[in-house]
């Protein structure tokens, strides 16, 4: 059935004459199925009579135009509405899903299972499409390009969000403070500033974050891993976004321009901070004295004023700290004992996560080969540092001494060579 849809009417649908004849209702009026029933107002024709004969003859006999537009108001029982209905519910959280496949993918968020692992860096994902998008960060491929400034992105959703920076549109508004955002994710993160909630905690040091992406970047500070490398100068970074910003230093490109004064910037975040100079807003407040600033960097410099101050004191031992977060970490030393003991090296840990992270290092050492061998005793070592420490012990030993001149030697063959020198010299 060839349907022609005219856009621009929010709740109305325009259909062709073919569809109107095959429909069972037109303007909420029932059409009789009896071909002999011609009752009704005006020149109404029964649909079966029209469908049985020639469509062209029916149009001509009825005096209708070549294309008849019949307006049908969509209700809750329309076919499109039924197709969009979500009917599969998650047993854990009650969320409704449209298919069993969507439900299976959603359930992984509750179990924490991430079966799809990146072969390059080992990062895992709950869904295959998440892995597919991630692999593009290693290849550098960005298939979605902005038509206005030419900037490319890994995801189509990222391009859509970026496009709003050109239009200035911010459709997502905070109901608490009225601040608006271009992306729904940014609004969700912003809401946490009102509640103070930081649901994403580091298993190693316990530091908490408002976003999972920030936690992922923080985890790299423990491993020292920098996966994103600049192809021009070779400099490496922990975040792909930082690499993207760095690339602009080579091209000199500044795609983010202020609409008020025309000043351009390489980063959208820098532009956002710059805009505050026009509005007078100062969102960055000092946690110690409460003074506010327009720029995060200025706040960071300001904190040096308090570098000799330690306003947060421990109620148990009296030790003082500059930051409340450092005090909280310290207080754990009074509350928790180091219950997890490493059987290999004897180190003790308070948290199970920290203990498990530590034992991984031992398992990795066991897998690696003993690449460093002592030439004196033949003993092998996996670590260069342990090997060097071992060789120092040999240097302190004097295993063989020349009977003629009392010169010490570590190896017997070195002593034999030395004695031959005495014989040749005639001493």
Q: What is the DSSP string of 82-141?
A: HHH---EE-TTT--EESSHHHHHHHHHHHH----EE-TTT--EESSHHHHHHHHHHHHT-
pLDDT tens figures, 48-75: 444 444 444 544 544 544 444 444 444 4
pLDDT of residue 366: 63
Tokens of 296: 């995060």
3-state SS, residue 51: helix
Nearest CA among 297, 333, 296 for reference residue 314: 333
Tokens of 110: 């509750």
Domains with residue ranges and CATH for the chain: 12-83 (no CATH), 111-279 (3.30.160.60)
pLDDT tens figures, 256-315: 888 889 888 877 778 887 888 888 888 888 877 788 887 777 887 787 777 777 777 887
φ, ψ of residue 48 in degrees (nearest 5) = -65, -35
Tokens of 56: 């062209």
pLDDT tens figures, 98-134: 888 888 877 877 777 788 888 888 888 888 888 887 8
**C-alpha angle 119/106/138, rounded to 5°?**
25
pLDDT of residue 398: 53
Spatial separation of the C-alpha atoms in residues 297 and 111, rounded to whole Å: 40
Distances (CA, A) of 376 to 127, 288, 397, 399: 54, 60, 11, 11
Question: Residue 397: left (phi > 0), alpha (psi -120 to 50), or beta?
Answer: beta
Distances (CA, A) of 161 to 129, 149, 170: 19, 14, 10
């Amino acid at each position: 059935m060839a349907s022609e849809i005219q856009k621009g009417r929010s709740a109305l649908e325009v259909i062709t004459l073919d569809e109107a004849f095959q429909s069972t209702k037109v303007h909420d009026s029932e059409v009789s199925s009896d071909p002999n029933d011609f009752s009704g107002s005006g020149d109404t024709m029964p649909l079966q009579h029209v469908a049985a004969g020639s469509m062209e003859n029916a149009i001509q006999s009825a005096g209708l135009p070549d294309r008849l537009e019949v307006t049908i108001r969509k209700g809750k029982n329309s076919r499109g509405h039924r197709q969009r209905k979500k009917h599969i519910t998650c047993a854990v959280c009650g969320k409704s899903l449209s298919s069993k496949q969507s439900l299976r993918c959603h359930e992984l968020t509750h179990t924490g299972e991430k079966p799809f692992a990146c072969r390059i860096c080992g990062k895992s994902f709950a869904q295959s499409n998440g892995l597919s998008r991630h692999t593009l960060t290693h290849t550098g491929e960005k298939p979605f390009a902005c038509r206005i400034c030419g900037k490319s992105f890994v995801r189509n959703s990222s391009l859509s969000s970026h496009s709003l920076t050109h239009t200035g549109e911010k459709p997502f508004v905070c109901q608490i403070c009225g601040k608006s955002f271009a992306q729904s994710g940014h609004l969700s993160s912003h809401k946490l500033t009102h509640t103070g909630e930081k649901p994403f905690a580091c298993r190693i040091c316990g530091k908490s974050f408002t976003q999972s992406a920030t936690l992922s970047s923080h985890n790299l500070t423990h491993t020292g891993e920098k996966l994103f490398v600049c192809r021009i100068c070779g400099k490496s970074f922990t975040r792909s976004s930082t690499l993207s910003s760095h690339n602009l230093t080579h091209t000199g490109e500044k795609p983010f321009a202020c609409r008020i004064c025309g000043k351009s910037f390489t980063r959208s975040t820098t532009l956002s901070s710059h805009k505050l100079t026009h509005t007078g807003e100062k969102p960055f407040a000092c946690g110690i004295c409460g003074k506010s600033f327009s720029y995060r960097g200025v706040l960071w410099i300001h904190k040096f004023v308090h570098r000799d101050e330690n306003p947060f004191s421990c109620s148990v031992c009296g030790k003082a700290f500059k930051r409340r977060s450092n005090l909280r970490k310290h207080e754990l030393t009074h509350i928790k004992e180091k219950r997890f003991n490493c059987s290999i090296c004897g180190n003790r840990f308070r948290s199970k996560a920290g203990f498990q992270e530590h034992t991984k290092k031992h398992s990795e050492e066991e897998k690696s080969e003993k690449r460093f061998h002592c030439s004196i005793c033949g003993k092998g070592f996996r670590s260069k540092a342990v090997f060097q420490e071992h060789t120092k012990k040999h240097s302190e030993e004097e295993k063989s001494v020349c009977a003629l001149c009392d010169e010490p030697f570590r190896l017997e063959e070195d002593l034999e060579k030395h004695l031959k020198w005495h014989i040749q010299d005639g001493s």
